[in-house]
Structure 1
């Protein structure tokens, strides 16, 4: 049998075989790879936790009902928006916005050149306990010892429908409570109601009743004291009777 002897050129260029798994392991454990991995991880952490991402820029087309944005350093919420486009004129977003700190509501027109930062807000749940003068006391849902007060100005008209143990949503801006959101509909007992006059209930009229929270609303003539009714907390209007006294 004749054995071929490799030439000097072939021997010089012979590359030793390395298992792919061993090569990958050596590459991962190398200093350059570990440095790149650390930098990539830091970039990901910065992206997810940086406040800059929360304050992303908004244009006038982003200002739709419910959106909270910064204007002159204060948080505003869009209540209404209407895009108006006319020939030979730039489009305009006609809005009604509410200042979440002062509670002031104003109309405002925004142009295509306007840009805004999205307000960085946080929401959490809370349980209403009781009220004392103009202060309303709430607590953490899982720990009633963690109590805090909210002024009536912050609650707005929603305070008229608060009853003990009601769950609400707290909105914070820069660790300051700026808004309290009640459920859209809530069931309340009628504490007082004028007596119904026989024959008037068929005419579809209304009368003023007093709820268990002290709020006064208009309700159908057939509603009596002791009835459980459902109220829309956003409009303050009667919606339906749940149970009859």
Structure 2
């Protein structure tokens, strides 16, 4: 019978949810850990001012919380006032926010489409109410409401006008 020289180890990359720092650690296969308790809380995005993004607890408008643009990273470009998000809390500190998978936006700028343009199934770039530019089908016009997937940043469908 042959014995190993060392016990097997597990190599991992761990992310600190509060600071965002990533570290590499090695663990023995028999190591055990205490699971972190992370709570979800519904919140509402209010506005952006000089790189600060302000939210309030849903149902408690007096309790406002701000995030720096670096904290919410790529999600900032999809935020618009009165968007409902889910905040992840560790203890009393909010460590992350989660956007809805799809959000509706109004098209504010769109190049004109001409008869026959759709024969090739082409697309065009439009500007949305929050300044985001995305590719959409040729039949989308100014003042249309479109639905955008926030995980991919792509057009999904035209929403019903309200």
1:151-190 Cα offsets, whole Å, 9 max, x none, are 1122222221211111110012243222110111111111
Q: Flag structure 2 segments of 5+ consecutive residues without an equivalent.
A: 1-9
Relative to its length, the structure with more strand (as a share) is 2
* Structure 1 residues 54-95: Cα deviation after superposition (integer angstroms, max 9, x where no partner): xxxxxxxxxxxxxxxxxxxxxxxxxxxxxxxxxxxxxxx999
Aligned length: 152
Q: Does 1:187 align with 2:90?
A: no
Q: Evaluate the alpha carbon distance shift between residue 98 and residue 231 of structure 1 in structure 2; reply closer, same or farther with a 3 A threshold.
A: farther
Q: Distance in 2 between matches of 1:128 and 1:226?
A: 23
Quick check: which one's helix share is greater?
1
Task: Select 2:114's aligned residue among 197, 202, 206.
Answer: 197
Residues 208-238 of structure 1 show CA distances to partners (whole Å, capped at 9, x for unaligned) of 2111111111111221111101111111111
1:144 lines up with 2:70 in the alignment: no
CA distance in 2, matches of 1:105, 1:207: 39
Q: Identify which of 134, 141, 144 aligns with 1:227.
A: 144
Report the equivalent of 2:131.
214
- Return the alpha-carbon distance in structure 2 between the equivalents of residues 186 and 141 of structure 1: 18
Q: 2 CA distance for matches of 1:232 and 1:130?
A: 21
* CA 121–205 in structure 1, closer or farther in 2 if over 3 Å, else same: same
The alpha-carbon distance between structure 1 residues 242 and 105, as it changes in their structure 2 partners (threshold 3 A), is: farther
Paired residue secondary structure (2:159): strand
Residues 232 and 143 of structure 1: is their aligned pair in 2 closer, same or farther, counting only changes over 3 Å? same
Q: Is the 8 A contact 1:226 1:244 kept in 2?
A: no
Using CA pairs under 8 Å that are at least 6 residues apart, name the structure with larger relative contact order, 1 or 2: 2
The CA deviation at 1:96 is 8.9
Q: For structure 1, which runs of at least 5 residues remain unmatched after alignment?
A: 1-92
